[in-house]
């Protein structure tokens, strides 16, 4: 396997690859280990949430995501033509417990229709360009750490080996070996439903209504993207000893719940799912950390998993790199748990609530009808959009501006030279950015000792808002200066020290 790098990431899914890319971007050597021989073809998620999509755009993946989404939408149109139905009826809409009444405050922050296997392919290309090694058929089977290193034992086709690394990150799914071997408790509620889903061909698809269809036996969803069907039965979790799901099993469940003699002629991919709601008690235990499903496992309702997992990786990547590169302040790495654990906890709470709303019993049916009426109110639809996208839960940063702690919105900027750029043009290198939107020399003087880690950009924008923004490498706003407020040098300096370490001392100061 060769010498171990400072960081080992277990799991080559979207979360592990995003994290590896962030570390490599910041100059940290990283090795990714994946137990599968090939990428998982199962379409576990059919879209990417707005926070994850926004972050990936700011790492230069916007064009690739746009092309992938166009291909998906073209397939939607082909499916609609084949079924002689309006194209919009096969495009999945955001939903809360199957109630397709979700609205967003900012139309620019939207879900992207890129399926998970396609995203993995794009991210694999991204990390390969950054020089990341991804080794397949490598399973973590032992973890042993002390104050200085973590020992990782890995099983491979040619035998097992043990090596030492500075940090081990578990991005290896809900049944994470890293989490289990490190002894991180995984607590919450057990699964209660059996879900089955697949990309299929139906002999008589016109017998199924598109969208969410509740029956006395459960829930059927047809058109979760291209030829994708999901069936949920509320009679207990899947048998843990059952083998891979077959076409016949999915067909039987579909007929049982829909009450229609629908025939599945082919199944491209398929699998089972359920509704566990489990979370790691801590996202960091010494030199072992967890992210994505390894940190929080939940029902796949509302398309929230990729959004949350990729944002975990975005939060952790630059902080771990700063720690390893020697400039992070004391405690910076621990803010990963402090900021992301509440996000995971709320995700589990809302998926539990959605499961309760989806049940076919009389009480849940009545409650679902009531919530449906509430969602006729625009403020309720906006609340649902905020909840599912995660845009309304800011991080606790030492700045009282309402934008502080939120993901920085995209904006069109014009530099002093007249060049028009977007925020993504400034963030591909993964550095901090201080946006000076008021051409204030005092602002630039204050930030000058941090320009080795923070790019100071003077520009103007047509978007109303603050006069200046300090944006962290993960895209979140650490500090903002209100349009109607006074510039506080102390507040800016505190934020710069908190998130970007000690200032640079010039030669004159050093000689004094």
Question: What is the DSSP secondary-structure string of 224-277?
Answer: SSTTEEEEEE-S-PPPTT--SPPHHHHHHHHHHHH-S---EEEEEEEEEE---E
Rounded to the nearest 10°, the torsion over CA 291, 387, 361, 43 is: -50
Are 45 and 230 spatial neighbours (Cβ–Cβ below 8 Å)?
Answer: no
pLDDT given at position 482: 84
Residue with tokens 């058929």: 137
Are 72 and 115 spatial neighbours (Cβ–Cβ below 8 Å)?
Answer: yes
For residues 166 and 6, give the distance between their C-alpha atoms in angstroms, rounded to a whole number.
Answer: 5
Are 18 and 119 spatial neighbours (Cβ–Cβ below 8 Å)?
Answer: no
- For residue 258, which of 215, 317, 199 has the smallest C-alpha distance? 215
For residues 371 and 387, give the distance between their C-alpha atoms in angstroms, rounded to a whole number.
Answer: 15
**Quick check: helix, strand or coil at residue 136?**
strand
Question: Residue 420, Cβ neighbours under 10 Å: how many?
Answer: 10
pLDDT given at position 84: 63
pLDDT given at position 83: 64
pLDDT given at position 226: 62
- For residue 313, which of 296, 345, 336, 288 has the smallest C-alpha distance? 336
- For residue 176, which of 64, 357, 297, 5 has the smallest C-alpha distance? 297
pLDDT (tens digit per residue) in 197-249: 999 999 887 788 888 999 999 999 987 556 889 999 999 999 999 999 999 99
pLDDT given at position 508: 43
pLDDT given at position 510: 43
For residues 451 and 457, give the distance between their C-alpha atoms in angstroms, rounded to a whole number.
Answer: 11
Query: For the purposes of burial, counting CB atoms within 10 Å of the CB of 137, is it exposed (0-12), middle (13-18) or buried (19 or more)?
Result: middle
Residues 6+ apart with CB under 8 A from 349: 277
Which pLDDT tens digits describe the chain residue by residue (512 residues)?
556 689 999 999 999 999 999 999 999 999 999 999 999 988 888 889 999 999 999 999 999 999 999 998 888 777 667 666 666 666 667 899 999 999 998 877 888 999 999 999 999 999 999 999 999 999 999 999 999 999 999 999 999 999 999 999 999 999 999 999 999 999 999 999 999 999 999 988 778 888 899 999 999 998 755 688 999 999 999 999 999 999 999 999 999 999 999 999 999 999 999 999 999 999 999 999 999 999 999 999 887 999 999 999 999 999 999 999 999 999 999 999 999 999 999 999 999 999 999 999 999 999 999 999 999 999 999 999 999 999 889 999 988 899 999 999 888 999 877 889 998 899 999 999 999 998 889 899 999 999 999 999 999 988 777 899 999 999 999 999 987 767 788 899 999 999 999 988 654 444 44
For residues 20 and 249, give the distance between their C-alpha atoms in angstroms, rounded to a whole number.
Answer: 38
pLDDT given at position 138: 98
For residues 285 and 454, give the distance between their C-alpha atoms in angstroms, rounded to a whole number.
Answer: 30
pLDDT (tens digit per residue) in 45-55: 888 999 999 99
Domains of the chain by range and CATH?
A: 41-121+359-391 (no CATH), 168-189+277-357 (3.50.50.60), 194-274 (3.30.70.2450), 406-500 (3.40.30.120)
Are 158 and 172 spatial neighbours (Cβ–Cβ below 8 Å)?
Answer: no
The chain-wide mean pLDDT, for the chain, equals 92
For residues 230 and 275, give the distance between their C-alpha atoms in angstroms, rounded to a whole number.
Answer: 14
């Amino acid at each position: 396997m060769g010498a171990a790098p400072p960081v080992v990431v277990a799991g080559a899914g979207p979360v592990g690859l995003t994290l590896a890319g962030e570390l490599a971007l910041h100059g940290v050597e990283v090795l990714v280990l994946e137990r599968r021989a090939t990428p998982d073809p199962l379409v576990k998620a059919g879209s990417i949430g707005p926070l994850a999509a926004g972050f990936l755009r700011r790492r230069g993946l916007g064009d690739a995501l746009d092309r992938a989404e166009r291909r998906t939408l073209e397939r939607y149109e082909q499916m609609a033509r084949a079924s002689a139905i309006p194209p919009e009826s096969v495009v999945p809409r955001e939903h809360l417990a199957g109630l397709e009444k979700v609205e967003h405050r900012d139309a620019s922050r939207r879900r992207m229709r890129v399926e998970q296997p396609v995203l993995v392919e794009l991210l694999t290309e991204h990390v390969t360009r950054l020089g990341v090694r991804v080794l397949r058929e490598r399973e973590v089977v032992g973890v042993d750490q002390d104050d200085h290193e973590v020992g990782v034992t890995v099983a491979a086709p040619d035998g097992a080996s043990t090596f030492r690394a500075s940090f081990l990150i578990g991005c290896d799914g809900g049944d994470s070996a890293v989490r289990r071997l490190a002894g991180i408790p995984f607590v919450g509620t057990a699964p209660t439903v059996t879900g089955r889903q697949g990309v299929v061909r139906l002999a008589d698809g016109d017998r199924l209504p598109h969208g969410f269809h509740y029956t006395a036996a459960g829930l059927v969803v047809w058109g979760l993207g291209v030829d994708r069907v999901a069936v949920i039965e509320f009679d207990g979790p899947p048998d843990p000893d059952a083998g891979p799901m077959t076409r016949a099993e999915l067909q039987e469940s579909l007929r049982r719940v829909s009450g229609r003699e629908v025939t599945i002629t082919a199944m491209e991919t398929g699998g089972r799912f359920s509704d566990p709601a489990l979370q790691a008690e801590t996202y960091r235990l010494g030199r072992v950390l967890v992210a994505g499903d390894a940190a929080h496992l939940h029902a796949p309702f509302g398309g929230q998993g990729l959004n949350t997992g990729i944002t975990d990786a975005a939060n952790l990547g630059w902080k771990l790199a700063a720690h390893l590169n020697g400039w992070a302040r004391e405690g910076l790495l621990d803010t990963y748990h402090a900021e992301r654990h509440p996000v995971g906890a709320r995700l589990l709470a809302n998926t539990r609530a959605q499961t309760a709303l989806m049940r076919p019993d009389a009480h849940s049916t009545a409650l679902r009808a009531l919530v449906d009426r509430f969602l006729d109110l625009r403020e309720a639809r906006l609340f649902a959009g905020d909840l599912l996208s995660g845009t309304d839960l800011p991080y606790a940063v030492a700045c009282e501006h309402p934008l502080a702690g939120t993901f920085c919105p995209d904006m069109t900027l014009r530099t002093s030279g007249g060049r028009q750029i977007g925020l993504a043009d400034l963030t591909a290198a993964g550095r901090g950015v201080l946006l000076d939107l008021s051409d204030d020399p005092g602002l630039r003087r204050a930030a000058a000792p941090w320009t080795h880690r923070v790019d100071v950009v003077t520009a103007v924008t047509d978007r109303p808002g603050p006069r200046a923004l300090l944006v962290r490498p993960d895209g979140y706003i650490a500090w903002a200066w209100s349009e109607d407020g006074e510039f506080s040098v102390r507040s800016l300096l505190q934020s710069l020290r908190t998130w970007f370490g000690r200032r640079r001392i010039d030669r004159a100061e050093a000689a004094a």
